[in-house]
Structure 1
Amino acid sequence: MKNNVNIINVVKFAGAYVAFVIGSGFATGQEILQFFTSNGIWSIGSILISMAMFSFFASVVIGSGYEYRDDDNFKPYQHFCGKYLGKIYDIITPICLFLILVVMVSGAGATLNEYYGLNVQMGSAIMVALVLVAFLFGLDNLINIVGLLGPAILAFAIAVGVVILFRNGANISDATAQIQNLNMTKTSDSWIVNGILYAAYNSALGVAFVSSIGKGASSKKEAMLGGVVGGVSLMAAVLVMNLALLSKVTDVYDLAIPTLYFAKSISPVLGAIFSVILLCGIFSTAAPMFWTVTDTFSNVLFKNDKFKTKIIAFLIAAVAFVGGVLPFGTLVNVIYPYTGYLGIVLFICVVFKCIKTKKQEDTQDYKKAS
């Protein structure tokens, strides 16, 4: 049973991880534009860098969740970064997660406004209400919900991207030259830095939730495989969407929600369906982030007192709604890159932790053999 692998569980873990990462930035296409498409054809190299980093990080962190599944006091940041740096992350993480939660809420408002003409504040309020309800249902149900949403969102995004590529794929060869004449918002002028930052910012703040995914695994191998599958499938979808964006870059470079533009250009009905898919993508990231922020503050302030935790949840939801009225594209460009630098430090810590653990295991094996 030590290496038992249930493919359904692998897909569920991969789906939960993917759903956590997707969020409003991916689902709307806004972060793909800023991190990848803005670098033209070199964006393919950026995506491969991110794919390798996502797969490694997810497999290690989900695997650690399985290893420490019975330890209620397991602190993932301190486990990977050490006592002192880990505590710094424990303090910074809920603050940064809250800022990205605000981005999710803003993205929901922008989506409902752009497609349905709904008041931006009303759209943001709907998303805040949904994540609050999800929190009250508990973590186990939340993982099951987002685990199902992840694969569905990826499949739909890939399908839309493939249709756009089929129609406009020949334009990709001209995209890099066209981008030189466009005033595109970029996270960095370096395609290498963009590839690193994208994986880093998406991973920096989700260690608590991502590690919790592995608690339901039958084996460490099953947990780690879920991480690998999640990382590869996520970036495969990003690759398809990026190529689609390159093929229509002059039409979408300044749009807040380019993926919705794609869906509507294929079919009005598809546009309506995709608007719902977008909201699911936003919810799939906002809900785990809301859980992490609320759980962290509750643990620090009230030792997870259930009644007081609910009060904190309502307060965080209210503040997130107020922040969510800020412009979506601006929030993505300001908050995401800086979060990426936190993620780079975390990645380095995870790599060193893996090296240290491997050396310890080799030493123990050597002593047993002797």
Structure 2
Amino acid sequence: MLKIGKSEVRISMVIKLAGAFCAFLIGAGFATGQEIMQYFTNYGLAKGIGVMVVNCLLGAWTAAAIMNLGNESKDEQGLNSYKNLCGKYVGAFLSWFIPIFMFLTLVIMIAGFGSTLNQLFGTPNWVGCLVFAVVVTAVVLLGLARVIDTIGFIGPAIIIVTMIMAIGVLATKGIDLANWENYINTHDVLLASSSWFMSGVLYALWNIVMCLPFMSAMGSKAQNKTEVITGTVLGNVLFTVGTLFLVLAEGSQIDIVGEMSIPALTMAQELSPIFGVVYAIILVLAIFTTAVPLMWSVSSRLAKEKTVKFAVICLIIAVLGFFGGQLPFERLINYIYPLIGYVGFIEFAFIIWRDIKLIRGMKSGEPLPAHDEEEKKTAEK
């Protein structure tokens, strides 16, 4: 137990919040290195660091706001997170609209696994996509949605292994900044946005769109706001440090990984065939721990778990995801992720409005309005 100011903070909960936050952000995009290429590396070192700063600051702010919301509402399942943040009508719209983007992200996970197997063993993409779709569907049908509660341990492990790989690349290969800048200026590289600043904004807002129910549920487990803020800050710092090392490694090997679908795996294989296998396992875990909650979240929104309807929906999602996974992995990230980020502006506007009301309430001494009808009734009693 640690005391910060007047609040007592459980170190174990801070680590759990930080780890779970990182883990949910790390899927096929980050662990493959492709997401990092498009949002950071392909802008060059100076602008890439600028993207990190924007993402870290905005990400910490929005994540803390959402986790605080969950802490206040005690919505342990995150079921009312959209309504709690955006109100009855906009919240209801988003609660049905966001699962579409969750499905599209699941498609990216399936495509990422297909590309990973293709790069490792030369198998056709459709083979990896089929295997992954079947395994994820089987796990969801078994009712193992609790995988969400275990990813807090896998997230930091992925970042640590990624950092080891990145440090190994930098130590053995060095870095040529002039070559890095020349490559991105002379090649048609994929960028999340034409503006590096907007890239940082979109990256942070993509996170709150996809993670809102999860982060709200995680916030409900904290005993006070200090734990929430400390956990989100630590998670963002850990994620940013991991990103920095991966960006530097990709920039140092830009000639080799610039055209690869899975740049991080390429760098791991360049270091050592054995490390390449180890990283492939970590990569599969990263994709899997994101894909399962995504499929479960979409399916459970439409039907009750462990029912025939739920099973049918899972199978339909798997089939659609398999066919969607045949599209180029890097192109899927380039089209879908920024689009999700733009949708995040809706939630961001409500976060700003909520913070304004919070500041006004602190000045006037009035509490924030209750989050739902039950809480209002409780307050009236």
For residue 125 of structure 1, the aligned residue among 90, 105, 130 is 130
CA distance in 1, matches of 2:9, 2:97: 35
TM-superposed CA distance for 1:238, in Å, is 0.9
Match of 2:229 in 1: 224
Match of 1:311 in 2: 312
Per-residue CA deviations over 1:170-197 (Å, capped at 9, x if unaligned) read: 4124422332112211222211111111
For residue 114 of structure 1, the aligned residue among 112, 119, 134 is 119
TM-superposed CA distance for 1:142, in Å, is 1.7
- One-letter amino acid of the counterpart of residue 188, structure 1: S
TM-superposed CA distance for 1:122, in Å, is 2.8
Report if the CA contact (8 A) 1:165-1:243 is conserved: yes
For residue 145 of structure 1, the aligned residue among 131, 146, 150 is 150
Q: Which moved more, 1:164-173 or 1:5-14?
A: 164-173
Report if the CA contact (8 A) 2:14-2:230 is conserved: yes
CA distance in 1, matches of 2:113, 2:73: 35
Match of 2:375 in 1: none
Higher helix share: 1
Change in Cα spacing, 1:40 to 1:342, as seen in structure 2 (3 Å) is same
TM-superposed CA distance for 1:74, in Å, is 5.3
Aligned-pair Cα RMSD in Å: 2.4
Match of 2:189 in 1: 184
Q: Helix, strand or coil: the match of 2:186? A: coil
Match of 1:36 in 2: 40
CA distance in 1, matches of 2:180, 2:28: 25
Match of 1:24 in 2: 28
Report if the CA contact (8 A) 1:172-1:243 is conserved: no
TM-superposed CA distance for 1:343, in Å, is 1.3
Change in Cα spacing, 1:116 to 1:4, as seen in structure 2 (3 Å) is farther
CA distance in 2, matches of 1:235, 1:293: 29
Report if the CA contact (8 A) 1:153-1:277 is conserved: yes
Q: Which moved more, 1:229-238 or 1:267-276?
A: 229-238
Match of 1:335 in 2: 336
Match of 2:376 in 1: none
Report if the CA contact (8 A) 1:130-1:283 is conserved: no
Per-residue CA deviations over 1:187-208 (Å, capped at 9, x if unaligned) read: 2221111111111123212211
Report if the CA contact (8 A) 2:113-2:129 is conserved: yes
Report if the CA contact (8 A) 1:208-1:292 is conserved: no
- One-letter amino acid of the counterpart of residue 172, structure 1: L
Q: Helix, strand or coil: the match of 2:27? A: helix
Change in Cα spacing, 1:150 to 1:169, as seen in structure 2 (3 Å) is same
Match of 1:268 in 2: 273
Residue 53 (structure 2) pairs with residue 48 (structure 1): yes
- One-letter amino acid of the counterpart of residue 237, structure 2: V
- One-letter amino acid of the counterpart of residue 178, structure 1: Y
Q: Helix, strand or coil: the match of 1:259? A: helix
TM-superposed CA distance for 1:306, in Å, is 4.2
For residue 12 of structure 1, the aligned residue among 12, 16, 20 is 16
Q: Helix, strand or coil: the match of 1:201? A: helix
Per-residue CA deviations over 1:312-332 (Å, capped at 9, x if unaligned) read: 223322322222222211111
Report if the CA contact (8 A) 1:10-1:226 is conserved: yes
Per-residue CA deviations over 1:305-363 (Å, capped at 9, x if unaligned) read: 84433332233223222222222111111111111101123222212212212322332
What are the ranges of 5 or more consecutive residues in structure 1 without an aligned counterpart? none
Report if the CA contact (8 A) 1:68-1:74 is conserved: no
- List aligned pairs for 1:166-315, cutoff 5 A: 166-298=171-303, 306-315=307-316
Report if the CA contact (8 A) 2:167-2:245 is conserved: yes
CA distance in 1, matches of 2:326, 2:136: 17
Match of 1:354 in 2: 355
Change in Cα spacing, 1:76 to 1:5, as seen in structure 2 (3 Å) is same
Identity, % of aligned positions: 35
Match of 2:373 in 1: none
TM-score normalised over the length of structure 1: 0.90
CA distance in 2, matches of 1:307, 1:239: 46
Q: Which moved more, 1:319-328 or 1:211-220?
A: 211-220
Per-residue CA deviations over 1:118-151 (Å, capped at 9, x if unaligned) read: 3422322332234334434657732332111101
